[in-house]
Amino acid sequence: MIILGINETSHDASVSLIKDGDILFAAHAERYSKKKNDWYNNKSIILDALNYATPNAIAYYEKPLLKRSRILLRGGASDWKPHIPLNLPVHYFKHHHSHAAAGYYTSRFDDAVIVVLDAIGEYNTSTIWVGEGDNIKLKYKQNYPTSFGLFYSAFTQLIGLMPNQEEYIMMGMAAYGNPKKYEVKVSDYFLRYDMQKYNFHKGIIDWNEPITEQDKFDIAAAVQKVYQLRLNEFMHMAYTITGKNKLVFMGGCALNSSANTLLWNIFDKVWIMPNPGDAGSSLGAAAALYGKHINWKSPYLGYDLGGEYPVDKIIEGLKKDKIVAVATGRAEYGPRALGNRSILADPRDPNIKDKVNLIKQRELFRPFAPVVMAEHASKWFDMDFESPYMQYTVKCLQPEKIPSVVHEDGTSRVQTVTKEQHPGLWRVLNKFYLETGVPVLLNTSLNIKGQPLLNDENDIKLWEETYNFTICR
């Protein structure tokens, strides 16, 4: 069975292709169209997927008519009409079912609780499922407008950022604010939402006081704190309802790496698929149709640049310039650059952060993440679990040695790497470690400001011309 999974009419269209449980291809539309957060798939991504195999069924990640009924009855304003690219039978799965399937069927668990928290699908906004063997079953649901995701996005918009896109910037800003000033006020919004007396879909329409530049950071801190308190409560409820000690966490909220760390206090094992938001749901829909665990090996599933990992070139570049761009092999499926479309830099240099921020033309407060050899992670960061997809923020234990990857509050969003997971990147780290005693590098996405991660040869050419900077490949 060859299944083409499709997600569109959301803020992150994507396509996946699976054959008998093997993932042949999975990628984001934006990397092909160069339109950030593209809502629709395009001819190039479909053709790239079809290079791998010809599907005999299509799985779509939502129930379009159900979504339309919610928009008509209860509000919201998104498109609901999918464009199906091939004349094949189409199987439609509910939005949260696709999230749950993307998480559970890529996990190694056969007995787990699955929690899905996002802004909104058709009606559901927060769901708890149980996965046993190859079956997943819904146990609890919360409907629109009560929504963790809409809560977070409404405040993202309030402080002048783009909702559904720049929540991660607000999360980063939280470290620079004092949550005390607005905690009570933000909690009160959450309380009204609990009672279905507030619809965050319309934004925060009654803040009624001026917002200074510092207030933006204080609001971000208060929102992050309130979000974490409520997430903690919800996850305890999920544990109590199901009695399961293994968690699969999915939905856009699972991208909040600062909050995700608290999950390890509740559950023995946690799996967050590296693409837990809607962009991961093309794979989720395909997996839901397959109805069994699929063969998850790595997130390197997109456009293939080919080539061996350029270990020696990267080490040479780090020695010479301390900053190296790398584009090779298959693109990451998910929002984070995990080594194949990355800028890597020497984390010991305190000025590197500003240099990389200048290259990327980002706000200077924006933090950078470290990538560390998994075997050394617990000596450098306060963690006793692996974080292969940069999904958890933890305290840095030796901040004076790697200042450029430590956030204002002393934490880092860590990516751990094993030899099996990414042999090339592991060898780069090992060589750097043998020469410097530091098994850590700065790792950030390779993109032009405001544009998606680099994808193909044309993007590389454009980047090299724009920055006069050679990419290792």
CB of 65 to Fe ion, least distance (A): 18
Distance of closest approach, residue 16 Cβ to Fe ion, in angstroms: 15
Does the footprint of Fe ion cover residue 278 (CB under 5 A)?
Answer: yes
Our CB check for Fe ion shows the closer of 167 and 278 to be 278
User: Judging by beta carbons within 10 Å of its beta carbon (0-12, 13-18, 19+), is residue 349 exposed, middle or buried?
Assistant: middle
Tell the smallest beta-carbon distance from residue 234 to Fe ion (Å): 16
Q: Residue 126 CB, nearest distance to Fe ion (Å)?
A: 11
Q: Is 365 helix (H, G, I), strand (E, B) or coil?
A: coil
Q: Which stretch binds Fe ion (CB under 5 A): 127-135, 229-237, 274-282, 456-464?
A: 274-282
CB of 204 vs Fe ion, minimal distance in Å: 21
The span of 68-76, 111-119, 158-166, 185-193 binding Fe ion (CB under 5 A) equals: 111-119
Nearest-CB residue to Fe ion?
Answer: 118
Burial class from Cβ neighbours inside 10 Å (0-12, 13-18, 19+) for residue 141 reads: middle
- The answer to whether 122 contacts Fe ion (rule: CB under 5 A) is no
DSSP string across 2-40: EEEEEE-SSSS-EEEEEETTEEEEEEETHHHH--TT-SS
Residue 62 in contact with Fe ion, rule: CB under 5 A: no
Residue 133's CB is within 10 A of a number of other CB atoms, namely 9
| Closest by Cα among 254, 249, 289 to 267 | 249
Of 45-53, 275-283, 337-345, 448-456, the segment contacting Fe ion by CB under 5 A is 275-283
Residues forming beta bridges with residue 270, ordered by sequence position: 247
- Total Cβ atoms within 10 A of residue 271: 21
Query: Which contiguous run of DSSP H or E holds residue 73?
Result: helix 64-74
* Smallest distance from Fe ion to CB 150, Å: 11
Nearer to Fe ion, 65 or 184 (CB): 65
Q: Which of 217, 219, 158, 214 is nearest to 186 (CA)?
A: 219
In the bound state with Fe ion, the residue whose beta carbon lies nearer, of 12 and 218, is 12
Is the CB of 38 or the CB of 278 nearer to Fe ion? 278
- Residue with smaller CB distance to Fe ion, 118 or 218: 118
Q: Which amino acid is at 161?
A: L
Nearer to Fe ion, 120 or 159 (CB): 120
Residues 6+ apart with CB under 8 A from 321: none
Could you say whether residue 118 binds Fe ion (CB under 5 A)?
yes
Q: Which residue blocks in 123-212 are alpha helix, DSSP H?
A: 148-158, 167-173, 180-194
Q: Does the footprint of Fe ion cover residue 8 (CB under 5 A)? A: no
The least CB distance from residue 116 to Fe ion, in Å, is: 8
Rounded to whole angstroms, the Cα distance separating 3 from 392 reads 32
Site for Fe ion in 367-426 (CB under 5 A): none
Site size toward Fe ion, by CB under 5 A: 2
Smallest distance, Fe ion to C-beta of residue 61, A: 9
The residue (of 118 and 459) whose beta carbon lies closer to Fe ion is 118
Q: Which among 69-77, 116-124, 344-352, 451-459 is the span making contact with Fe ion, rule CB under 5 A?
A: 116-124
Q: Are 452 and 31 in contact (CB under 8 A)?
A: yes
Q: Which residues bind Fe ion (CB under 5 A)?
A: 118, 278
